[in-house]
Structure 1
Amino acid sequence: MYRALKWFAVLTTIGMLLILLGGALVTKTDSGMGCGRSWPLCEGRFVPSDITPALLIELAHRLISGSVGFMVLILSVWSWKSIGHIRETKLLSLMSFIFLAVQALIGAGAVLWGQSSFIMALHFGISLISFASVLLLTLLIFEVDKKFDAKKLIVDKTMKFHIYGLMIYTYFVVYTGALVRHTKSSLVCKDWPLCVNSSPSLPGNLYEWVQMGHRAAAGLIFIWAGIAAYTAISKYRHQKVIYWGWITAFSLITFQALAGILIIITKLNLIVSLAHVVFISCFFGVLSYLLLITSRSKKNSFSAQSQIAAKNQAVHLQPPQKGNII
């Protein structure tokens, strides 16, 4: 059922991930002005005369973004018609296309008129929301055949706090990471974990503050995700979506943290830098799905652990049957 839609949704999700990677590649290789002050054409032509590496990177990113943009539009309409009865479908369909269009407009504005680093840092975050929306649409399509009813999940207030809070905080951390790239602060502190370029206690300039601020924020997100994963492992073994979701999330944030450290050690190795983007994008996607299924849970008063304990206690309190009396 919905086989063609499933394949198309998977391809569109992969395409959205390529857009995120392409945007990071453009920033890391300083190719944003590879096509000059011209958009959507490159140097005002369909086929530019002077081909440079920066031009090829920027032009490829534009072509992929435009093609995937049409795919997202098709997926949004197709999903709306096919699984529109699922409550989240229409909202996700709108979000996936609208945020992608906003991301494209910010990119075009940066080329035509220029933008500050603080505005351009929003570019990646907006793309990330569009990617998460497409990913969730894809998961909704696959849920139809699996007949998975997330409303049966029991999520207590503590777990909800972890999911909602970490989701918001992750977006803030993503912004600080994008700000590091756009302000060219990646190697302003050549040591890790501290920045000893100037004062061993406090950063000495704006760029060091941006770099060290991101490190501190990233460290907190790693600790918070670890606490949430421990809670899931200890209390949610019977709810596999929550259990494996947090194991996956913590694994991804661990790899992302390691990639962040390696970026400093390897002096901005391109493959490591792109892996850094992939890990945080997938982490945000997993959090988004946890947020989705948690929003379906209507059990707020008792934790899953306490309800299971209550059921076990009820079994023990049942009077013995006559046939079992000695």
Structure 2
Amino acid sequence: MKFLKYLSVITTITMTFVLVGGALVTKTESGMGCGANWPFCYGDWSLEMFIELSHRLISGAAGFLVLLLSFLAWKHIGHIRETKFLALISAFFLIAQGLIGAAAVLWAQSDFVLALHFGISLISFAAVLLLTLLIFEVDQKFDASSLYIRPAYRKQFLLLTIYIMFVVYTGALVRHIDSILACQSWPFCNNDQPFNFDYHLGQWVQMGHRFLAGIAFIWTWKIFLNIKRDYRESRVMFKGWMIATAFISIQVILGAFIIFTIGNLFIALLHALFIALFFGLLCYFLLLSYRSLKK
């Protein structure tokens, strides 16, 4: 089991690099750095080629690790009811992510299709993260199996998770249509004329993403205040959702700083990282909610 724990942690970290690396490829417009070739890489040496090739290598390593983790988890902790489902989901969506990435290189794809890429990677990442948590639960090092979540909270977690997928999609679309700086102000597109809605497509997508993210921010904080009232003594519920609230708050701040710093690359990558962490934690609460249905 010690090897399985090490493997799960390494796989989760590698999947994090895949997510952030995908955002880096999009942000730096390096998707064609290897030319119209896949899986091999041809062309003149350049920064774009290095970024795209590195992303492919890390994604390939992640694919091997995810398949190995899924197989070993199925073999050693398959008696835990969520294991087989998560193993299948993590492998399936990672393969789907790779195929979409290949299709984007070999055949022209619309920005609306390419924006799905990050969301699919996010699902695979979340499944790997949950597998890791299951592995650490086996010897009670990390156990929340006794927690009961009320139906109202289970519904909120499910709806918020689905909603976040839409937020993630709009954020990915902002990157793919190169509209990160379509609006030069924050929180409005133009703070001097906040109610002037004569926008072009990029500005509509940018402001739509901000609006959806703002709702997610308020929604998360509302759930946190309710959990503070109803689950103050529950370490997993209270502290876990406190962390989730911190993640979404940092995410919003980073979104604003992308505008303030005129699209700083490092901040943009952190922006992608924190939504991945928030989504992974959301999925963990979905797992706990599913267990509560069985009690």
TM-score (norm 1): 0.87
2:24 paired residue number: 25
Summarize the Cα distance change of 1:54–1:198 in structure 2 as closer, same or farther, 3 Å threshold: farther
| 1:258 match | 253
Q: Which residue of 1 aligns with 2:48?
A: 54
- How far has the Cα of 1:149 moved from its partner? 6.0
Cα deviation digits, residues 248-293 of structure 1 (max 9, x gap): 1000000000000000000110110010011100000100001101
Residue 238 of structure 2: aligned partner: 243
Percentage of matched positions with identical amino acids: 54
1:186 and 1:95 mapped to 2: Cα distance? 31
1:194 equivalenced with 2:188 (yes/no): yes
CA contact (8 A) 1:155 1:299 kept: no
Which blocks of at least 5 consecutive residues in structure 1 are unaligned?
301-326
Question: How many residues align structurally?
Answer: 294
Specify whether residues 263 and 149 from structure 1 end up closer, same or farther in structure 2 by C-alpha distance, changes over 3 A only.
Answer: closer
Measure, in 2, the Cα distance between the counterparts of 1:231 and 1:110.
Answer: 43
The reply on whether 1:276 has 2:271 as its aligned counterpart is yes
1:84-113 per-residue CA deviation (whole Å, 9 max, x = no partner) reads 000000000000011000000000000000
State how far apart, in whole Å, the 1-side matches of 2:194 and 2:253 are: 25
CA distance in 2 between partners of 1:208 and 1:260 (Å):
15
Counterpart amino acid of 2:275? Answer: I
Matches within 5 A, 1:83-98: 83-98=77-92
**What code does the residue aligned with 1:144 have?**
V
2:202 corresponds to 1:207: yes
CA distance in 1 between counterparts of 2:195 and 2:232 reads 44
Q: Is the 8 A contact 1:151 1:298 kept in 2?
A: no
Structure-1 residue corresponding to 2:73: 79
SS in 2 for 1:220: helix
Alpha-carbon deviation of 1:162? Answer: 1.8
Q: Which residue of 2 aligns with 1:141?
A: 135
Q: How large is the RMSD of aligned CA atoms in angstroms? A: 1.6
Q: Deviations over 1:280-317 (max 9, x none)?
A: 000001000011011101389xxxxxxxxxxxxxxxxx
Q: Is the 8 A contact 1:198 1:204 kept in 2?
A: no
Cα deviation, residue 203, structure 1? 4.4
Once the two structures are superposed, residues 121-148 of structure 1 have per-residue CA deviations (whole angstroms, 9 ceiling, x without a partner) of 0000000000000000000000111176
State the partner residue of 1:174.
168
For the pair 1:3 / 2:2, whether they are aligned, the reply is yes
User: Which entry has the higher C-alpha Rg, 1 or 2?
Assistant: 1
User: Which amino acid is the alignment partner of residue 134 of structure 2?
Assistant: L
| CA contact 2:149–2:288 (8 Å) conserved in 1 | no
Partner residue, 1:229: 224
Which residue, 256, 262, 281 being the options, matches 1:286? 281
Instruction: Give distance in 2, aligned partners of 1:270 and 1:151.
Output: 40
- CA distance, structure 1, for counterparts of residue 155 and residue 37 of structure 2: 46
Normalising by structure 2, report the TM-score: 0.96
Mapped partners of 2:211, 2:29: distance in 1: 26
Deviates more, 1:200-209 or 1:116-125: 200-209
Kindly provide the amino acid, as one letter, of the partner of residue 40 in structure 1.
Answer: P
Structure 2 gap ranges (5+) = none
The residue aligned with 2:57 is: 63
What is the identity, as a one-letter code, of the residue corresponding to 2:195? Answer: P
1:243 Cα deviation (Å)?
A: 1.1
The answer to which of 146-155 and 121-130 deviates more is: 146-155
**Contact 2:182–2:203 under 8 Å retained in 1:** yes
Please tell me whether the aligned partners of residues 203 and 212 of structure 1 are also in contact (alpha carbons under 8 angstroms): no
Q: Is the 8 A contact 2:133 2:142 kept in 1?
A: no
Give, in angstroms, the shift of residue 198 of structure 1: 7.9
